[in-house]
Structure 1
């Protein structure tokens, strides 16, 4: 059963701000992960609507993102690999010739990277904007010449997740003075305003990149997880949850797509839980719609999120979701009880309950999947692009 409204193409934006140069600046230009995927998605979207785009990263990553095709916009990495980490000359290091040489070389490489960044931004035409997608690049931008661009800072994680880690200090040091500081939901923006007194905050959701022409038939007995195999994504908690579900659903499989530094530890955990016969490790995938087409339920077990693209893609494929309510972005995407089921963050019993409900009720899966496919279109590229155009017009005033 597929809701007819899901096949409608969203209307084009109603207003244009006119072509302007847009620089998208992040940690890397090519790292496997949601922020890099978002960067190239937005670069393609801005280019299709006439804006010249330049994607800039601090360095080239080892674990690469696969793009759908060669980019038709410039892509620049300031370093060929991760830049040297600062090692303060304190204590015995002050007297070490090797330490002093390391620091001189690090600073020289950084000065060269800053000069290269300044040279790129010096070519900006009037009205140009630089969107800093992650806070770390501000370490270079603070030293670069940014006089020809409007600076827009972004966070792709929730207020609570930033507040609990080292990036909170970086945000407080770097973002109060940019032209606009964007977070993913109004709830997060309100927290930054009321709890930290930041007055330049706005909200900008991620955009749904693709609406598959045909939704999942929801006939396969597969629960799908897609994400990096890293602590933030909580795959360890997912395995513990699946250990509660699997005895009740012996004919269902948990299909885990992703790669990352925790892969070996997670596979060992899977074996120790006795789940090898019901868990499939499928590695990274460059064809998310195909992976979702074989799933009937999507699960997200993250410890922290921003505005997860994988969750939106699952809903666009008509696959109902069970997820930890770990961030405002998750509960803004999923309407709990209407088009998906949310569980309290970290509550394994509750997440297992949601999975048991969805895997045990075909009618519930179909009803929520059809609603999800319709509802998620409020985050279409056309609608989100218009919000960006409105922001650009605001910055021109």
Structure 2
């Protein structure tokens, strides 16, 4: 195995959320394999994630505070607009800090740009001699609904490889004219020694209390499912800007006796060990880590089929149950089916625990190293 210098360039070094968790995990996994890993963040995060006191990788943040968004040239000045030129000059100064590191890196170094906003600075840096891998951590449809779609097409069209999360998403980007696309799943974030005993009458939800995570939809689901399975509890782990509105909705639906608001948890394994079913009601996902975690804990999942990543993780009818995107009545029926059938929960939970091993950290890390070797040829 060739030991390399690997640079992750991201919006933030320790951003709270799925991308931040993935980034810290991959940096740690590659460092443990003997690679020298650095994470370069453009700006400090609004909400930081704890990456530990002595991580096995180095970190650098280019700005003390988040820089403003890119200015659009005023008509008819175009690129000679003084405000645009000042901003680009500032970006070049920040990018030069990366360039110095890239120039000093040995042959075989790799630059992985984990988010497209960060690519705006990498584009000003001197990456000569090192392959550049760009990444999009969301589904094609989610990207298309945002400003990131145009930026992915613009900023990643000339990188050595654009990685998305699934083959299905890769095919759709190829259809957009990008001929450098591949896919790389997220690795399993945890490998518990023992599965959940699946003995408590608890359905768990874990995620930020935001519009994207669809907890409002979940409460509508629970309003249909709970009366059909008395004694079961929906335990919602998470915090966020919509908590007050969601608690009010819960009360208005008459669910206060069967819903527990557990707050944010740093011990996902323990939360899942106290659960028998996991539910995800997101409006959109990339390659959701929490589904991987639930399956690793042997907890069968019911979820909206909201993205190719969800379909890639959960085999509907085999190790979990998928409802049509946004169909709350169908998701409620899936929950009732799992809550009412202990044998089904055990069968699907054990199958999930087996199937999810295809995303084991050692499997995904080896795929990354094979990609690095390929790009060096």
**Is TM more than 0.5 here?**
yes
2:54 maps to which residue?
70
**8 Å contact 1:223–1:255 — kept in the other structure?**
yes
Per the TM alignment, residue 90 of structure 1 is displaced from its structure 2 partner at its CA by 5.1
**Distance in structure 2 (CA, Å) of the matches to 1:102 and 1:177:** 27
In structure 2, C-alpha distance between the alignment counterparts of 1:265 and 1:83, rounded to whole Å: 32
Partner of residue 201, structure 2: 221
> How far is the alpha carbon of 1:185 from its aligned partner?
1.1
**Secondary structure of 1:356's aligned partner:** helix
Give 1:59 shift: 1.3
**Hey, what does 2:218 align to over in structure 1?**
238
Q: 2:31 aligns with which of 19, 32, 47?
A: 47
Provide TM-score, normalisation by structure 1: 0.89
Matches within 5 A, 1:240-259: 240-259=220-239
Deviations 1:101-129 (A, max 9, x none): 99898666534322222223222211111
Aligned residues of 2:304 and 2:324 also touching (Cα < 8 A): yes
Q: Which moved more, 1:241-250 or 1:291-300?
A: 241-250
Structure 1 residues 17-56: aligned runs within 5 Å: 17-56=1-40
CA pair 106-228 structure 1, distance change in 2 beyond 3 A = farther
More divergent stretch after superposition (102-111 vs 382-391):
102-111
Question: In the alignment, which of 262, 277, 281 is matched to residue 261 of structure 2?
Answer: 281
CA contact (8 A) 2:14 2:24 kept: no
CA contact (8 A) 1:218 1:296 kept: yes
Match of 1:158 in 2: 139
- Structure number with the bigger relative contact order (C-alpha 8 A, sep ≥ 6) is 1
2:78 equivalent in structure 1: none
CA distance in 2, matches of 1:363, 1:141: 53
Structure 1 spans left out of the alignment, 5+ residues: 1-16, 92-99
Matched, 1:173 2:157: no
* Contact 1:125–1:148 (CA under 8 A) maintained in structure 2: no
Say whether 1:268 aligns with 2:248. Answer: yes
Indicate how the Cα distance of structure 1 residues 314 and 54 shifts in structure 2: closer, same or farther if over 3 A, else same. same
1:381 is displaced (CA, Å) by 0.9
Structure 1 counterpart of 2:122: 141
Do structure 1's residue 385 and structure 2's residue 369 form an aligned pair? no
Q: What is the CA distance between 1:142 and its match in structure 2?
A: 1.1
Compare 296-305 and 157-166 and name the one that shifted more: 157-166
What is the CA deviation profile of residues 154-181 of structure 1, one whole-angstrom value per residue up to 9, with x for unaligned ones? Answer: 1111112212221110111011100001
Distance 1:89 1:275 in 2: 52
Secondary structure, counterpart of 1:53 in structure 2: strand
Larger mean Cα displacement after TM superposition, 155-164 or 270-279: 270-279
Note if 1:357 corresponds to 2:337: yes
- Give the distance between the partners of 1:70 and 1:359, measured in 2 at CA: 43
Residue matched to 1:292: 272
Q: What is the aligned length?
A: 372
- Conserved in 1, the CA contact under 8 Å of 2:91 and 2:124? no
CA distance in 2, matches of 1:311, 1:81: 33
Alpha-carbon distance in structure 2 between the residues aligned to 1:221 and 1:57: 43
**Alpha-carbon distance in 2 for matches of 1:335, 1:277:** 33
* Mapped partners of 2:26, 2:218: distance in 1: 31
- 2:32·2:56 contact (CA, 8 Å) conserved in 1? no
Q: Secondary structure, in 3 states, of the residue corresponding to 2:11?
A: strand
Residue in structure 1 matched with residue 107 of structure 2 by the alignment: 126
Q: Tell me the residue number matched to 2:290.
A: 310
Q: What is the aligned partner in structure 2 of residue 83 from structure 1?
A: 67
Secondary structure of 1:145's partner? coil
Structure 2 residue 346 is matched with structure 1 residue 366: yes
Shift in CA distance, 90/178, structure 1 to aligned 2, threshold 3 Å: closer
Q: Distance in 1 between matches of 2:87 and 2:239?
A: 31
Q: 1:119 to 1:105 in 2, by over 3 A?
A: same
Q: Distance in 2 between matches of 1:69 and 1:207?
A: 23
2:138 counterpart SS class = coil
TM-score by length of 2: 0.93
CA distance in 2: counterparts of 1:126 and 1:312, whole angstroms: 35
